[in-house]
Structure 1
Amino acid sequence: MRLLVTLATLFLLMGCQSTSSSKLDADPEWVTGKLENGLTYHIYASDKHTPVSLRFIFEAGSLQETDTQLGYAHFVEHMAFNGSEHFEQNGILDYMRSIGATFGPDVNAYTSEKNTVYVLDLPNNAHLDKAFNWFNDIANGLNLDANEVEKEKGVIVGEWRDSRRENKSAYMYMYEKAIAQSQLAARDPIGTVPSIESATDVSLRQFYETWYQPQLAHLVVVGDVSVEEIKAHIQRELGKWERGNTPAPDTYVIPTPLSETILQPALSAEGASASFAYDLGPTATENKGQLFNQWTNEGTAYLIRERLEDELLSITGKPNSVEVGITSAGERDFLIIRGLFPAERREEAQTVIVETLASMRDRGVDDKAVGNIRWYQDARKYYRQYDDNLLPKDRISNFTWAFMRGEPSLGTEDLLSLRLAWSRTLNRYGVSDHLETMLSSEPVVFGFWLDDEQEAQVEDLLVDTHTRLMEQGKKRGSRGGNTLLAAVSHNGTVIAEQKKTETLNVWTLSNGVEVWYQQNPKAKEQVRIVVGDKGGRALLPEHLVSASFLMPDALFLSGLAGQDAQGISRYLNERSTAIWPEITPTRHALHIDTNRYYMDDALALTHHLIQSPAFTEEGLALSKQKVSEDFKNFHASINGKYDDAVFNKLRNDNPAYRLSTVEDIDTTSLADISAVHDVYFSKARNTKVYIVGNLSPNRLKRAVAKNLGGIVFAEPSVPELNIQSDTWSLALSDVLGVSEEEKGKGLSALYVLSEVENDQSAEVVFIDDILSRIATRKVLNSVREQASLSYSPGSFELSIDNEKYTGWAFAASVNPHQAKQANDLFEGVVQDMAKGVSDDEATVASTQLREALQGLDENAHHQANIFSRYLFNGWGVDALLDVNKTIDGISPEEISDRAKLIFGKQSKVVRAYNMPEGVELPE
Structure 2
Amino acid sequence: MKRNFLLLTLAATSVFSFAENPVLAQPKQATTKNATGEKFPADPDVKIGKLANGLTYYIRRNVEPRNRAVLYMALKAGSLMESDAQQGLAHFTEHMAFNGTKDFPKNELINYLQKAGVKFGADLNAYTSFDQTVYQLPIPTDSTALFHNGFKILANWAGHISMEDTDIDEERGIIVEEERQRGKNAQSRMQKEALPVILHGSRYAERIPIGKLDIIQNFRHQEIKSFYKDWYRPNLQAVIAVGDFDVAQVEALIKENFSSLKNPAGAKPHQVYGVPDNKEPMVKFITDKEFPYNVAAVTFRHHSKPTRTTADVKSGMIVSMVNAMVGTRIQELKQKGTAPFVEGQLSYGPWQGGLVNGLNALSVIAVTKDASEISKGLAGVMAEAERMAQFGFTASELEVVKKNIDAANERAYKEKDKIPSASFVQAYLKNFMYESPIISPDVRYNLTKKFLAEITLDDVNKAAKKMVKEENVTVLVQAPEKDKDKLPTAAQLLEGLQNAGKGLTAYVDQAVNKPLLEKKPAAGKVVSTDKIEKIGVTKLTLSNGVQVYLKPTDFKNDQIMFTSFRPGGTSLISDNDYKAMNYAGNIPGDGIGEFEVTTLRKMLAGTTAGASSYLNELYEGFSGSASPKDLETALQLVYAYATNPRKDPVAFKKNMDDYKVFLQNADDAPDNVFGDTIAAVFSSNNPREKKPTVADLDQISLDRSFEFYKSRFADASGQTFIFVGNFDVAQVTPLLETYLGGLPSANGTSKFVDRGVRPLTGNTTRIVKKGIEDKAQVRLFFYGEYEFAPQTNMQLSALSDILEFKVLERLREKESGVYSPNVGIAYEKLPYANYGLTISFSCASANVDKLVAATLDEIEKIKKEGATAVDVEKFKAESRRAMEVSLRENGFWLNYLTSKIKDGEDPTSVLTQNERLQKVTPESVKETANKYLSNANYFKAVLMPEK
TM over 0.5: yes
**8 Å CA contact retained: 1:310, 1:569:** no
**8 Å CA contact retained: 2:512, 2:603:** no
Q: Which residue of 1 aligns with 2:61?
A: 45
Q: 1:661 aligns with which of 679, 690, 693?
A: 693
Distance 1:537 1:770, change over 3 A: farther
Query: Are 2:314 and 1:292 aligned?
Result: yes
Q: Which residue of 2 aligns with 1:744?
A: 774
Q: Which residue of 2 aligns with 1:391?
A: 420
Q: Which residue of 1 aligns with 2:3?
A: none
Distance 1:16 1:289, change over 3 A: farther
Q: Which residue of 2 aligns with 1:494?
A: 526
Q: CA deviation at 1:64?
A: 0.6
Q: Which residue of 2 aligns with 1:335?
A: 362
- Counterpart CA distance in 2 for 1:772 and 1:188 is 35
Q: 1:530 aligns with which of 563, 571, 574?
A: 563
Q: CA deviation at 1:857?
A: 5.8
- Counterpart CA distance in 2 for 1:872 and 1:703 is 24
Q: Which residue of 1 aligns with 2:261?
A: 241
**8 Å CA contact retained: 1:77, 1:116:** yes
**8 Å CA contact retained: 2:346, 2:364:** yes
Distance 1:265 1:302, change over 3 A: farther
Q: Which residue of 2 aligns with 1:160?
A: 179
**8 Å CA contact retained: 1:745, 1:915:** yes
Query: Are 2:299 and 1:277 aligned?
Result: yes
Q: 1:353 aligns with which of 356, 360, 381?
A: 381
- Counterpart CA distance in 2 for 1:339 and 1:692 is 40
Which is worse superposed, 56-65 or 517-526? 517-526
Q: Which residue of 2 aligns with 1:362?
A: 390
Q: 1:432 aligns with which of 438, 445, 461?
A: 461
Q: Which residue of 1 aligns with 2:215?
A: 195
Q: 1:723 aligns with which of 740, 755, 758?
A: 755
Q: 2:839 aligns with which of 810, 819, 827?
A: 810
Distance 1:875 1:469, change over 3 A: farther
Query: Are 2:48 and 1:35 aligned?
Result: no
**8 Å CA contact retained: 1:784, 1:790:** yes
- Counterpart CA distance in 2 for 1:589 and 1:633 is 34
* Paired letter, 2:355: A
Q: 1:148 aligns with which of 149, 162, 167?
A: 167
* Paired letter, 2:363: I
* Paired letter, 1:471: K
Q: CA deviation at 1:839?
A: 4.5
* Paired letter, 2:53: N
Distance 1:548 1:362, change over 3 A: same
Q: CA deviation at 1:584?
A: 5.9
Q: Which residue of 2 aligns with 1:829?
A: 858
Q: CA deviation at 1:27?
A: 2.0
* Paired letter, 2:846: H
Q: 2:818 aligns with which of 779, 787, 790?
A: 790
Query: Are 2:296 and 1:252 aligned?
Result: no
Q: CA deviation at 1:236?
A: 2.2
CA displacement, residues 795-836 of structure 1 (integer Å, 9 cap, x when unaligned): 223655634332222111111111111211221233234344
* Paired letter, 1:782: R
What's the secondary structure of 2:262's corresponding residue? Answer: coil
Which is worse superposed, 314-323 or 33-42? 314-323
- Counterpart CA distance in 2 for 1:225 and 1:759 is 45
Q: Which residue of 2 aligns with 1:71?
A: 88
Q: Which residue of 1 aligns with 2:515?
A: 484
Distance 1:622 1:221, change over 3 A: same
Q: CA deviation at 1:657?
A: 4.5
**8 Å CA contact retained: 2:337, 2:651:** no
Which is worse superposed, 762-771 or 428-437? 762-771
Which is worse superposed, 29-38 or 863-872? 863-872
Q: Which residue of 2 aligns with 1:696?
A: 728
Q: Which residue of 1 aligns with 2:326?
A: 304
What's the secondary structure of 2:544's corresponding residue? Answer: coil
CA displacement, residues 214-262 of structure 1 (integer Å, 9 cap, x when unaligned): 1111111111222222222222222222232425623322233553454
Q: Which residue of 1 aligns with 2:632?
A: 600
**8 Å CA contact retained: 1:678, 1:716:** no
Query: Are 2:933 and 1:903 aligned?
Result: yes
Which is worse superposed, 356-365 or 638-647? 638-647
- Counterpart CA distance in 1 for 2:577 and 2:334 is 29
- Counterpart CA distance in 2 for 1:184 and 1:313 is 40
Q: Which residue of 2 aligns with 1:404?
A: 433
Distance 1:584 1:766, change over 3 A: farther
Which is worse superposed, 446-455 or 496-505? 446-455
* Paired letter, 2:256: R
Distance 1:598 1:45, change over 3 A: closer
Distance 1:489 1:578, change over 3 A: closer
Q: CA RMSD in A?
A: 3.6
TM-score computed with the length of structure 2 as normaliser: 0.87
- Counterpart CA distance in 1 for 2:731 and 2:545 is 20
Q: 2:802 aligns with which of 769, 774, 777?
A: 774
CA displacement, residues 409-468 of structure 1 (integer Å, 9 cap, x when unaligned): 222222223333433431001110000111232553444445675753555874453122
- Counterpart CA distance in 2 for 1:173 and 1:431 is 37
Query: Are 2:152 and 1:114 aligned?
Result: no
Q: Which residue of 2 aligns with 1:56?
A: 73
- Counterpart CA distance in 1 for 2:758 and 2:255 is 61
Distance 1:791 1:347, change over 3 A: same
Q: How many residues align?
A: 902
What pairs with 1:444-843 in structure 2 (closer than 5 Å)? 444-450=474-480, 455-456=485-486, 458-459=488-489, 462-471=493-502, 473-487=504-518, 490-501=522-533, 503-533=536-566, 538=571, 540-546=573-579, 550-557=583-590, 559-572=591-604, 575-579=607-611, 589-630=621-662, 632=664, 634-670=666-702, 672-674=704-706, 676-677=708-709, 681=713, 686-713=718-745, 721-723=753-755, 726-731=757-762, 733=764, 735-754=765-784, 757-797=785-825, 802=830, 803-835=832-864, 836-843=866-873
- Counterpart CA distance in 1 for 2:916 and 2:718 is 26
- Counterpart CA distance in 2 for 1:182 and 1:386 is 43
Q: CA deviation at 1:200?
A: 3.6
**8 Å CA contact retained: 1:793, 1:810:** yes
Unaligned stretches of 5+ in structure 1? 1-9, 919-923
CA displacement, residues 532-571 of structure 1 (integer Å, 9 cap, x when unaligned): 24665555433455467522323432x4233244433433
Q: CA deviation at 1:903?
A: 1.0
- Counterpart CA distance in 1 for 2:568 and 2:110 is 40
Give aligned-pair identity as a percent: 19
CA displacement, residues 21-55 of structure 1 (integer Å, 9 cap, x when unaligned): 63334422111112222222111124674301100
Q: 2:224 aligns with which of 192, 196, 204?
A: 204
Q: CA deviation at 1:837?
A: 3.0
Q: Which residue of 1 aligns with 2:18?
A: none
- Counterpart CA distance in 2 for 1:321 and 1:642 is 28
Q: CA deviation at 1:489?
A: 5.0
Which is worse superposed, 680-689 or 523-532? 680-689
Unaligned stretches of 5+ in structure 2? 1-25
- Counterpart CA distance in 2 for 1:482 and 1:716 is 37
- Counterpart CA distance in 2 for 1:629 and 1:481 is 33
* Paired letter, 2:211: G
Q: CA deviation at 1:666?
A: 2.5
- Counterpart CA distance in 2 for 1:294 and 1:568 is 27
Distance 1:382 1:415, change over 3 A: same
**8 Å CA contact retained: 1:354, 1:468:** no
Distance 1:118 1:104, change over 3 A: same
- Counterpart CA distance in 1 for 2:712 and 2:819 is 42
Q: CA deviation at 1:727?
A: 4.2
